[in-house]
Amino acid sequence: MSHVVPEQERAWKVGTAPGIFPLVGHGIALYRRPLAFLNSLPAYGDLVEIRLGPQRAWMVCHPELVHRMLKDTRTFDKGGPLFDRLRTLMGNGVVTCPHQDHRRQRRLLQPAFRPSRLAERTDLLGEEAEAVCREWEAGRQVDISAAMTALTTRVISRVLFSDSLDTGTAAEVRQCLAAIVHGLFVRTVVPIDALFRVPTPANRRYRRAVERTHAIIDAAIAERRRGDPRDDLLGTLLQATHGDGAEPAVTAQEVHDQLVSLLLAGTESTALCLASAFSLLAQNPEAERRLHAEVDAVLPGGRRPGPDDLPRLVHTRAVVTETLRHSPPGWLFTRVTTRETEFAGCRLPRGATVLYSPYLLHHDPAWFPDPGRFLPDRWLPGPGAAGAHGALIPFATGSRTCIGEAFAMAEATVALATVAGRWRLRHVPGPVEPPRPGATLGPRSLVMICESRARVPVGTALHTGSRAPGATQASRVQASRMSGDSGVDDA
């Protein structure tokens, strides 16, 4: 990035996005063609005014401004349409709480995400990754989206509750998550509450999913209260309900809210990252070849990664990082101003909604040449490594940086290495449909064909003339689900 000029000397470009729809503003464009709409905005300025429903909002399109906003949490607090909806779902947990509550909550949870705990959990991560692909069979189709969600659900449930959720409950969590993610996105881009009070099938599905998620958490808390203390995050939270004199006691509602927040955040984003990674690798044979070569060298015989192996999985981690750049699960976020403020030379009123998009920054050719290409080599060590300009922000920045960033990176790296050491995943014949964004971004019904690495040499293309049983049907189902078959009237 070029030399940073102080704000008083820089002439920021402030613009307005064209094409206002009555009532819903730019919500229609953001819903129907969200990624194309985002990519069009930098042409209008570094800070661009849009409309969400009847409300004015501002999209930040320059990484320096995004960093400035995220580091000034007193002025740009968590809020706006997205976090207003998330608070209804998650309560006042660490993901959604306002600035005034964040420091205390983060300090309470931080011990569970220290590097020493991460090292202890590496075996857990590899164990669960190995378990999820153990029953796969060569030549068979696998729902990779469901498999990765099953993996991350088991992992986060063990971190939160020691034991994995039972199979039936884990399946319920995945089903609830699908309904919640879709419903959240619609409620964010078209923030008109009256639309979502109508008892449509979609609204009823969303409410049932939210209610069932809360019930699952309440049941886990009640079971633990009847049992023995354990060294997990739930145990830490329950211990904090007694208070220690230095900090006020944590309430039962706070325990509930933190668990809901971490369960949902810890399941969805990493699962989508992994599904995206396998899809992108299948479309980029050279990146896949280098991944397999590294895994074979670092983890001979298909052994599970240990803590000492993580620094050696350099290309594997680069694949994860490039996936987060190319297809960031968290692709759109909102903030709200707590006071009138001048930002990029524009006077914003108190209560203004300000948005930023990791996807927009990650796909701006000003920061990443050939942004549409999947190039893990961008992130290999060396003078040409990308990202020094700060445009890569999959986990945000400042004091509100994702508390689970290191854990999520380790989880994705271990899972990718474990699966890639055993299997090569290919797309079913036919075009690969791009994922349609919801509240998060990534493939939600990705069906792939698995081939044993012991049988198929790396670099060998799968013969597309012979389809695995059901490949045509699976391809049609995948395309239908990924195309997004519902509109605003589905709310």
Residue 25 per-residue DSSP state: B
Do 390 and 67 meet the contact criterion of CB atoms below 8 Å apart?
Answer: yes
Report, as an integer, the average pLDDT of 75-85: 81
Question: pLDDT at position 177, please?
Answer: 81
Instruction: Indicate the SS3 state at residue 143.
Output: strand
CA neighbor of 94 nearest in space, from 232, 214, 260: 260
Distance of CA 246 to the CA centre of its chain: 34
Confidence label for 43 from pLDDT (cuts 50, 70 and 90): very high
CB atoms closer than 10 angstroms to residue 293: 12
Question: pLDDT at position 383, please?
Answer: 65
199-246 confidence digits (pLDDT tens): 888 788 888 888 999 999 999 899 888 888 888 899 889 988 887 666
C-alpha distances (whole Å) from 327 to each of 272, 332, 437 are 9, 12, 10
Distance of CA 166 to the CA centre of its chain: 24
> Looking at the predicted structure, is the pLDDT value of residue 456 above 80?
no
Question: pLDDT at position 328, please?
Answer: 97
- H helices within 162-284, ranges in order? 167-189, 193-197, 201-226, 233-240, 252-283
274-316 confidence digits (pLDDT tens): 999 999 999 999 999 999 999 999 999 889 999 999 999 999 9
Q: What percent of the chain has pLDDT over 70?
A: 83
137-179 confidence digits (pLDDT tens): 999 999 999 999 999 999 998 899 887 568 788 788 888 887 8
263, HSE (Cβ side, Cα atoms, 13 Å)? 34
Phi-psi region of 277 (alpha: psi -120 to 50; beta: other; left: phi over 0): alpha
419-429 confidence digits (pLDDT tens): 999 999 999 99
CA neighbor of 132 nearest in space, from 167, 159, 177, 162: 167
> Looking at the predicted structure, is the pLDDT value of residue 430 above 60?
yes
Confidence label for 465 from pLDDT (cuts 50, 70 and 90): very low
